[in-house]
Chain A
Amino acid sequence: MNFVVFLAAAAEPASDLHPLLKLTGILVVAVGFALRVNTLLVVMLAGIVTGLISGMSFHEVIALFGTFFVENRYMSLAVILTVPVIGLLERYGLQERAEYLVRRQGGATAGRVLLLYQAMREITIALGIPIGGHAGMVRPLVAPMAEGAAAAQGELDPKSRAEIRAHAAAAENVGNFFAEDIFIGVGAILLMKGFFDTVGMNVGVWDMALWGFPTALAAFGIGWWRYRALDQRIHARQRTAAAPGGEGHDATQH
Chain B
Amino acid sequence: MTLLNIESFYLVVGVILALIAVRIALDASHPSRWGASVFWGLFAATFLLGKRVSPLLIGYLLLAMVLLAALQQVKKSNEVSTPKSERLASAARLGFRVFLPALLIPLVVVLGSLLFRFLEVGRFRLASAADATLVALGTAGLVALAAAIFVTRAPASAAVKEGSRLLQMIGWPLILPQMLAALGGIFAKAGVGDVVARIVGNALPTQIPFVAVAAYCGGMAIFTIIMGNAFAAFAVITGGIGLPLIVQQHGGNPAIMAALGMLAGYCGTLCTPMAANFNLVPAMLLELDDHHAVIKAQLPFAGIIFLFNVAMMWLLVFRF
Q: Which residues of A contact B (CB under 8 A)?
A: 3, 7, 10-11, 13-14, 19-20, 22-23, 25-26, 29, 33, 37-41, 43-44, 46-47, 50-51, 53-54, 59, 61-98, 100, 129-141, 143, 162-163, 165-170, 172-174, 177-178, 181, 187-189, 191-192, 195-196, 199, 201, 203-204, 207-209, 211-212, 214-215, 218-219, 222-223, 226
Contacts and interface: CB of A to CB of B under 8 A. Distances in A.
Nearest to B172: A40
Nearest to A158: B289
Question: Which 3 pairs between the two chains have the least Cβ-Cβ distance?
Answer: A93-B91, A87-B162, A81-B141
22 contacts: A13-B203, A14-B198, A19-B194, A23-B192, A26-B192, A40-B179, A67-B58, A69-B62, A70-B46, A75-B277, A79-B285, A82-B105, A85-B105, A85-B145, A91-B158, A93-B94, A132-B106, A139-B282, A192-B234, A209-B259, A226-B300, A226-B301
Nearest to B182: A68
Nearest to A205: B255
Interface residues of B, number: 149
Interface of B: 6, 9-10, 12-13, 16-17, 46-47, 50-51, 54-63, 65-67, 69-70, 81-82, 84, 87-92, 94-96, 98-99, 101-102, 105-106, 109-110, 113, 133-134, 137-138, 140-142, 144-145, 148-149, 151-152, 154, 158-163, 165-167, 170, 172-187, 189-192, 194-196, 198-200, 202-203, 222, 225-226, 230-231, 234-235, 238-239, 243, 254-256, 258-260, 262-263, 266, 269-270, 273-274, 276-283, 285-290, 293-294, 296-298, 300-301, 304-305, 308-309, 312, 316
B286 A165 contact: yes
B186 A47 contact: yes
Nearest to A143: B286
B99 to A, nearest CB: 7
B259 A181 contact: yes
Most buried by B among A23, A65, A162, A212: A65
A227 B274 CA distance: 25
A91 B254 contact: no
B143 to A, nearest CB: 9
Most buried by A among B231, B280, B286: B286
A101 to B, nearest CB: 8
Contacts of B87: 90-93, 95-96
Contacts of A97: 91, 94-96, 98-99
Contacts of A13: 202-203
B102 A39 contact: no
A130 B108 CA distance: 11
Contacts of B177: 72, 75-76
A85 B101 contact: yes
Contacts of B95: 97
A173 B112 CA distance: 23
Nearest to B96: A97
A178 B282 CA distance: 19
A215 B159 contact: no
Contacts of B285: 79, 134-135, 138-139
A211 B66 CA distance: 43
Contacts of B109: 130-131
Contacts of B290: 162
Given A3-B226, A29-B226, A87 B163 contact: yes
Most buried by B among A41, A69, A172, A209: A69
Given A68-B185, A192-B234, A140 B102 contact: yes
B308 A64 contact: no
A83 B173 CA distance: 15
Nearest to B144: A85
B85 to A, nearest CB: 10
Contacts of B110: 129-131
Nearest to A179: B263
Contact of A138 (B16, B144, B282): B282
A25 B192 contact: yes
Contact of A66 (B55, B67, B258, B288): B55
B195 A22 contact: yes
A131 B238 CA distance: 30
A192 B258 contact: yes
Contacts of A64: 55, 59, 182, 185-186, 189
A95 B81 CA distance: 13
B186 A50 contact: yes
Contact of B166 (A87, A95, A133, A188): A87
A169 B294 CA distance: 6
A85 B258 contact: no
A177 B269 contact: yes
Given A82-B105, A174-B270, A66 B57 contact: yes
A22 to B, nearest CB: 5
A208 B320 CA distance: 12
Contact of A44 (B66, B158, B301): B66
Nearest to A44: B66
Nearest to B71: A38
Given A130-B113, A195-B235, A212-B260, A47 B195 contact: no
Given A10-B200, A66-B58, A75-B178, A169 B98 contact: no
